[in-house]
Amino acid sequence: MKEKIIHIESIVKNYKVGTQVVRALRSVSVDIYKGEYVAIMGASGSGKSTLMNIIGCLDTPTSGKYVLNGKDVSRMSDDALAEIRNSEIGFVFQVFNLLPRNSALENVMLPLIYAGIRKAERRQIAEKTLSEVGLADRMSHKPNELSGGQRQRVAIARALVNNPSLLLADEPTGNLDSKISEEIMKLFAQIHKNGNTLVMVTHEPDIAEHAHRIIRLKDGEVESDEINPNPIY
């Protein structure tokens, strides 16, 4: 039996904007299993960013239940959520979020510092992870000395370095041209092949086609949830 890594049950998220209540998510229920590669799609205002923030433990639902890797995170404190984010989730963002004054190696080592890993071991793990994403010869370079694709590879290495239960990518090709986007998607395919669980949020249909399952949101609800019969790569 497949192991469930994400269990989302009847999640509602409301925001107050002045006197208005915006219903961003309306009773969303989704299960994602270990080793799956899932794309979450939707137009602006569909609720996909809100759902991503809840999956990533960056926000909590108004009501409903969210269990991540066996832990009910729906009502955790901010400190507990921060601990879950660092130990369970690797984030890849559209804007890379790299520290500009630090080398690629130092950027990738950062999560290991928070995890309390010793310095010599941190370096070893970070070097291995950068090599795995094809940057063995760019470790000492700072972000402004790297191309956009290389910067995203550094960000992916940083997301993977703690061996998280879940890799969460938010519009990971949004700042890249089509050729570099394809290279990054090939890397994601390899990461998935290595046994990692990937959840990718995108509004681009051609990027979503790389995933093995596509969940579409509309007006805060799941419009469709389908297996992709012919994923790219």
Q: Which domains does the chain have, with CATH numbers?
A: 35-63+74-227 (3.40.50.300)
Q: What angle do CA 19, 24, 29 make, to 5 degrees?
A: 145
Q: What is the pLDDT at residue 116?
A: 87
Q: What is the pLDDT at residue 65?
A: 96
> Where is average pLDDT lowest: 24-28, 86-90, 206-210?
86-90
Q: What is the pLDDT at residue 160?
A: 95
Q: What is the pLDDT at residue 233?
A: 81
Per the listing, tokens 């107050």 go with: 16
Q: What is the pLDDT at residue 10?
A: 97
Q: What is the pLDDT at residue 208?
A: 95
pLDDT at 141 over 90: yes
- The pLDDT confidence band at residue 201, using thresholds 50, 70 and 90, is very high
pLDDT at 1 over 80: no
Q: What is the pLDDT at residue 55?
A: 96
**109-120 pLDDT tens trace:** 999 988 889 988
Segment 131-156 mean pLDDT: 95
**Mean of all residue pLDDT scores within the chain:** 94
| Residue 110: closest CA among 144, 158, 68 | 158
Distance CA(60)–CA(65), nearest Å, equals: 10
